[in-house]
Amino acid sequence: MDLWFADETGIQANPRPYVVWAPKGSKPTIPYLGEHWHQSVIGAVRPADGRFFSLIVTQGNTDLFQVFLDQLNGQIDPGKRTILVLDNVSFHKAQRLRWGRIKPLYLPPYSPELNPIEELWLYGKKLFFYHWVPNSESTLEDRTATALTYFMDNPSIVQSVCAMTTYFRE
């Protein structure tokens, strides 16, 4: 059996406030671009071996999620039963979705802590986007693609970040 976890995330051009070390009495500032550039990403991770797959999309909806499922079906092992663990967002449950060789399994409501890809999204944002403000929408797109490629090329890092890896070994 193949166990994958999927989720969406958004990457903003303006970083959110975060904790930083600073000299006592100083007041660190976070730059503000003033633009509302945004990247949406759909991804799936297989914690057992750190395999990662993702697509940059314009938004989360049924049509783009179907494109993601079609592409993911090409990435999974054809000889294994594949379960994709998801949250309960409405477009994950659309009747018109064609799942192919994938069987969906939905998490209980309000339980993101049960999805290891959530840890990967947090790690990626800290690694690639904290302390960084893009100077154009295309630099945000490029940096997003760089971050996703990094995870695809480094399964051992993905495996370690997903933390629950030992529960999903074959």
- Give domain status of residue 21, yes or no: no
What is the spatial order of strands in the sheet that 82-86 belongs to?
51-57, 38-46, 2-12, 82-86, 102-106
- Give domain status of residue 19, yes or no: no
Structural domains of the chain, count: 1
The tokens of 93 are what? 């449950």
The tokens of 127 are what? 């690694």
Taking residues 131-150, what's their average pLDDT? 92
Q: Give the pLDDT confidence of 17-29 residue by residue, as tens digits.
A: 667 788 899 887 7
What pTM value is reported for the model?
0.86
Q: Residue 65: which of 53, 57, 76, 73 has the closest Cα?
A: 57
Q: Give the pLDDT confidence of 58-78 residue by residue, as tens digits.
A: 888 999 999 999 999 999 988
- Give domain status of residue 147, yes or no: yes
> Can you tell me the distance from the alpha carbon of 162 to that of 59, in angstroms, rounded to the nearest whole number?
25
- Give domain status of residue 40, yes or no: yes
- Give domain status of residue 24, yes or no: no
CATH number at residue 87: 3.30.420.10
> Can you tell me the distance from the alpha carbon of 76 to that of 61, in angstroms, rounded to the nearest whole number?
22
- Backbone angle region of 72, left / alpha / beta, with phi > 0 → left and psi within -120 to 50 → alpha: alpha
- Give domain status of residue 58, yes or no: yes
Q: What is the pLDDT of residue 153?
A: 98
Q: Give the pLDDT confidence of 24-48 residue by residue, as tens digits.
A: 998 877 776 677 788 999 999 999 9
> What is the crossing angle of helices 137-153 and 117-128, to 10°?
130
* pLDDT band with cut points at 50, 70 and 90 for residue 133: confident
- Give domain status of residue 42, yes or no: yes
Range of the domain at 97: 2-13+36-168
Least confident range from 52-61, 71-80, 157-166: namely 157-166
| SS3 of residue 133 by DSSP | coil
- Give domain status of residue 63, yes or no: yes
